[in-house]
A = this chain, B = another copy of it.
Amino acid sequence: MTQWNIQNIVIDLQQARNEWRAQQKNLKVFGGRELPSKEEIKKILNDLCGILFPMRLGPHDLRQQSENFYIAHTLEKTLYALLEQVKLNLSYDAKYKKQHEDLVEISEIAQNIVTEFAQKLPELRRLLDTDVIAAYHGDPAARSVDEVLLCYPGIMAIIYHRIAHEFYKKDLSLLARLIAEISHSKTGIDIHPGAEIDEGFFIDHGTGVVIGETCIIGKNVRIYQAVTLGAKRFEVDGEGRLQKEYARHPIVEDNVVIYAGATILGRITIGQGAVIGGNVWITQSVPANSAVSQSSATKSKV
C-alpha cells in the first residue's frame, strides 16, 4: 500500500468518470480517444506563418535566395501534419454524431480539404498583406511594416483567424476553434473562427476584443481593445435550451472604426464609414457615415 492510498483515489476517480459518461449519453458524447492535438496544431501554425511570411516569421537563419527551398520542404511536411489533424477532427465528428466511421471516406475528404487549403495559401498571403498595410497606416506609433508584422498582436490574431476560418468553412469546428483559442491565449483577442472578415482589417492593442461567430466585417475596418461584437440575447428553444447556429452578431460595413471598449450587440448593421466612440453600448443599427459617442450624461463629474 502506498503512502497516499493511490489505489482508492484511482477507483474513486474512475467512479466519477463512469458517472459522467453515463450521464453524457443523451448529450451525444462517446468514449473515443482521438482528438486533434493542441501541441501539433501549434507547430503547424508556426510553420504556416513561416510559409506565408518566410523572411519575417520563418526561421531566423533563412536567406531570401532560398525562400522557395524552405517553403517547398516545410509546406510538404506541414500539409501531411495538417492532414493528420483534419482526419482526427473528421473521425471525432463521425463518432460524435454516432455515424459509421468510414476510414477510407474520411481519408478522401481530408485529402480534399487539405489540398484546397494549400491552394488557397497564396490568396491568404495577399489578404494578409492588406491587413499589414492597414495596421501600418492605422497606428501612428508604427515605425515600419516589419514592426507591424513582428510585434503586433492584432496581426497575429488575423493571421490565425484567416487560417482558422478556412477550416470552419469546411465544418472542422474543433480544429478551427483550437486555432482560435491558441491565438486568444497569446493575444487576448477572441475571434470566433466563424466570423467573416474582409481585407484590410486592423485591431490595435487588442486585449479583450471579442468577435462573435456570425459577425460579418467589411473592408478596412479598424477596431481597438476591449471592443465586443456580440450577441444581444440568446434564443431559447421549447425546452429552454439555447439555440445554436443562427445569425446573432453584428454586420460591420466597410471603413468603420470602433474605439476601445465599445459594445455592439445583436444582428444589427453598423453602416459603412461609421465611427463608433469608446465605451458606447449599441444594440440598434447605425446609419452609414454617422458618428456615435457617449451621450453628455455619461460625462464624468469631478
Give A residues with C-beta under 8 Å from B. Answer: 1-7, 9-10, 12-17, 19-20, 24, 27-29, 31, 33, 35, 37-39, 51-52, 54-56, 60-77, 79-80, 92, 96, 111, 114-115, 118-119, 121-122, 125-126, 129, 136-147, 150-153, 173-174, 177-178, 180-181, 184-188, 190, 192, 194, 205-208, 210, 212-213, 225-226, 228, 230-231, 234-235, 241-245, 248, 260-261, 263, 265, 277-282, 286-287, 290-295, 297-302
Contact = CB atoms under 8 A, between A and B. Distances in A.
B77 A61 contact: yes
Contact of A279 (B13, B68, B138, B279): B279
Which 3 pairs of residues, A with B, have the shortest CB-CB distance?
A12-B122, A69-B72, A280-B300
Contact of A56 (B15, B35, B301): B35
A180 B153 CA distance: 11
Contact of A19 (B71, B126, B186): B126
A287 B190 CA distance: 33
A153 B173 contact: no
Contacts of A235: 140
Contacts of A71: 10, 13
A69 B287 CA distance: 53
Nearest to A138: B242
Given A33-B55, A143-B173, A228-B261, A294 B290 contact: no
A247 to B, nearest CB: 11
Given A71-B10, A147-B174, A185-B153, A141 B63 contact: no
Given A12-B121, A63-B76, 15 more contacts: A2-B66, A7-B72, A9-B121, A33-B55, A72-B72, A73-B73, A137-B242, A138-B242, A140-B248, A150-B177, A230-B260, A261-B261, A265-B278, A293-B301, A295-B297
A175 to B, nearest CB: 10
